[in-house]
Every structure is written in structure tokens, then in C-alpha cells.
């Protein structure tokens, strides 16, 4: 099958990969769209990822598509069903799975290599899509599911003052979720001034340049910021998150950092503020909610998706990122699917 193949660090091209052999409990999906995730750029750069990388491998894990075939033991899906797939598989038998924490599964593996004509996944990771949800928009299910996990950890209450650090594709989704969750004030801290207009249109009440530490500290002094979510994954953004957090605040570090990165923080300042610092890892138990939320039309997907590329164009995007800096980019594997 044709795929966007990563052959090694910095080596990506259009190539051919074998179609994964099906087990009785598997579902094979013909892929319509696959989103480009920041972690795909990490893989391209040769950095550590959630699961070990075995080259050659198709990039991508945020998919929508149509069921092409089902194994003999599959009971909930049939050929022609419109679906999305959670890429994070847990065994269901280890200690963490039995404790309801499949994201920490001792035998976890990724089951979606999405920038390919087909993916083959265990039935339990496949989710039906309503006929009213387009396959284009359904490619946002996986990143939205991750964002819902972050929002659960953040625990925003109506009327709270919230700071959002970073306004890329994930920050865009989080901003829309914060608004629908009833946040009273939402300060977006972002380095790209060109994103100000979009952030304000989507419900931000303040836009602060991330390099302006004085402005961040002034905002913190004038507003009781009780919830902060960081969506960049670099030290400067994480430091800004801690600086803008108010007394007793909860700070969620959502952005994926380089595996070698460390964060120097003032433990004394954190102590004085009595901060709660959390991290958010993948998307346990949120995929079905993501499907329902997208189908309800509560997210403006046109404000999240900034472009759709062919597989050949996706290869060039990895080599020289341009569009991905603006928002979520989808790769049209088979856009004829409906």
C-alpha cells in the first residue's frame, strides 16, 4: 500500500508498505484523512516518542475512514461503516488496565499508522461515526480526545480566570473548549502576533506576547488566574505558565516536551502559591466523547483546520514546515470517501 513513510530520522518519502495482516478481532480501515501531529515532527527529527519506532513506518495517527474488512470475531462493525480509531491500545489485563488507566498499560502499543491507504486495528479501538459528521472533521477526533483529557485534569469551573499558553492547533481546540466550559476570562499567551485576531474571535479576553515577561507578570498581578494550561512543550512556555498562575492555581503541562528537556522552576514560588502541577498523557476514555462533541457542532473546525495536503505535499511539509505553524493540517489519503 502507498504511504508517507519515515525511513529514519530526517528521511521521509512516499513509499510502499505491506498491508498489516488481520487477526480475528481486527478491523481494517481505508483511510480518508489523517492529521499531522506535532509528535510526527518529533519522530521525523529522531526524538523519543510514546512508543518505540521501528523503521520503516507510516507517519500519522489521527484518522477517519471507511471499514474495508473485518475479522471473523468482530461483532460491532461491518464493511462500509464510517469510523475513527483511537491509536493507543491497552491489553486490558495488566495492573494499570484493570485500574482503569489504559494509557499506562504495561504492554501498550500504537495501532494506527495513519498516512497510509489502510490501517488495521483491534475492534476495541474503533469508533462509529455519525452520518452527520464529515470524514474531514472526524480526523480531529484523536487530538480532540487528548484535549478533553487535558480539560478533565484542568477542571475549569464557570466564571474562572484561565490562561492558555500557546495557540497552535491544540491551543485553538483548547480555547474553544474553555469557552464552552464557561471560563470567565481567557488570556492567551502566544509568540505569534498574527494569531491575535483569531484568538480574540474565538473567545479570548486577552492576548499577551509570550516574550513580554513584564506583561505576563502584570496580568498575573491584576487577575486571579486559577487555571493554566500549557500547549507548547518548551521551557519558556512552561515558565510562563508558572509565572501567570495565581495562588492555589492548577497548572496542566499539556505540550509534549523533548525527552531531554528539563524545567528549572522556583520551588519556593510554587510553594508560596501552593500550585498544583499536572501533566496530561494521551487520551484515556475520551474518544467517544470527542466523536459526540464534534458531531454536536460545538467546535468551529474551519478555525482549526488550516489546510489539506496530498501525501506528496505532506512529505514536503515535513521537510520544510510552513502550513503546520498556522494550525491543524490534514493529509487527504482518499478524499473521495464520504
SS (H, E, C) 214-245: HHHHHHHHHCCEEEEEECCCCHHHHHHHHHHC
pTM over 0.85: yes
Is the pLDDT score of 303 beyond 90?
Answer: yes
Closest CA to 115 of 266, 280, 334: 334
Is the pLDDT score of 219 beyond 80?
Answer: yes
What does the block give as the cell for 141?
477526533
Q: What is the pLDDT of residue 240?
A: 96
pLDDT band at 260 (very low <50, low <70, confident <90, very high): confident
Q: List pLDDT tens digits, range 56-108.
A: 999 999 999 999 999 999 999 999 999 999 999 999 999 999 999 999 999 99
Cβ contacts of 106 within 8 Å, gap of 6 or more: 91, 94, 95, 96
Decide which of 265 and 120 is more confident: 120
Is the pLDDT score of 52 beyond 90?
Answer: no
Is the pLDDT score of 264 beyond 90?
Answer: no
Q: What is the pLDDT of residue 50?
A: 75
Closest CA to 175 of 157, 188, 160, 184: 188
Q: What is the pLDDT of residue 110?
A: 95
Is the pLDDT score of 132 beyond 90?
Answer: yes
Amino acid at each position: 500500500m502507498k504511504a508517507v513513510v519515515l525511513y529514519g530520522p530526517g528521511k521521509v518519502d512516499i513509499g510502499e508498505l505491506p498491508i498489516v495482516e488481520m487477526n480475528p478481532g481486527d478491523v481494517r480501515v481505508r483511510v480518508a484523512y489523517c492529521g499531522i501531529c506535532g509528535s510526527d515532527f518529533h519522530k521525523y527529527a529522531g526524538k523519543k516518542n510514546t512508543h518505540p519506532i521501528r523503521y520503516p513506518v507510516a507517519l500519522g495517527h489521527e484518522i477517519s475512514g471507511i471499514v474495508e474488512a473485518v475479522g471473523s470475531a468482530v461483532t460491532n462493525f461491518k464493511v462500509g461503516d464510517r469510523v475513527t480509531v483511537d491509536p493507543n491500545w491497552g491489553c486490558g489485563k495488566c495492573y494499570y488496565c484493570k485500574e482503569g488507566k489504559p494509557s499506562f498499560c504495561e504492554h501498550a502499543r500504537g495501532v494506527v499508522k495513519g498516512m497510509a491507504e489502510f490501517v488495521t486495528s483491534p475492534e476495541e479501538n474503533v469508533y462509529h461515526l455519525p452520518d452527520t459528521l464529515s470524514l474531514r472533521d472526524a480526523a480531529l477526533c484523536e487530538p480532540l480526545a487528548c484535549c478533553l483529557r487535558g480539560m478533565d485534569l484542568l477542571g475549569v469551573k464557570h466564571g474562572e480566570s484561565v490562561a492558555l499558553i500557546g495557540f497552535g492547533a491544540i491551543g485553538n481546540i483548547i480555547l474553544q473548549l474553555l469557552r464552552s466550559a464557561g471560563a470567565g476570562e481567557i488570556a492567551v499567551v502566544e509568540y505569534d502576533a498574527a494569531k491575535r485576531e483569531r484568538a480574540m474571535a474565538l473567545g479570548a479576553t486577552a492576548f499577551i506576547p509570550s516574550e513580554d515577561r513584564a506583561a505576563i507578570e502584570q496580568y498575573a498581578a491584576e487577575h486571579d488566574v486559577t487555571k493554566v494550561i500549557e500547549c507548547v512543550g518548551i521551557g519558556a512556555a512552561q515558565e510562563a505558565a508558572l509565572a501567570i498562575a495565581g495562588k492555589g492555581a492548577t497548572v496542566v503541562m499539556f505540550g509534549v516536551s523533548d525527552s531531554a528537556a528539563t524545567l528549572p522552576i522556583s520551588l519556593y514560588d510554587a510553594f508560596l502559591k501552593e500550585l498544583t502541577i499536572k501533566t496530561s498523557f494521551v487520551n484515556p476514555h475520551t474518544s467517544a466523547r470527542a466523536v459526540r462533541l464534534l458531531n454536536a457542532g460545538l467546535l468551529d473546525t474551519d478555525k482549526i483546520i488550516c489546510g489539506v495536503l496530498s501525501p506528496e505535499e505532506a512529505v514536503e511539509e515535513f521537510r520544510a514546515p510552513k502550513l503546520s505553524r498556522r494550525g491543524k493540517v490534514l493529509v487527504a489519503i482518499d478524499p473521495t470517501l464520504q
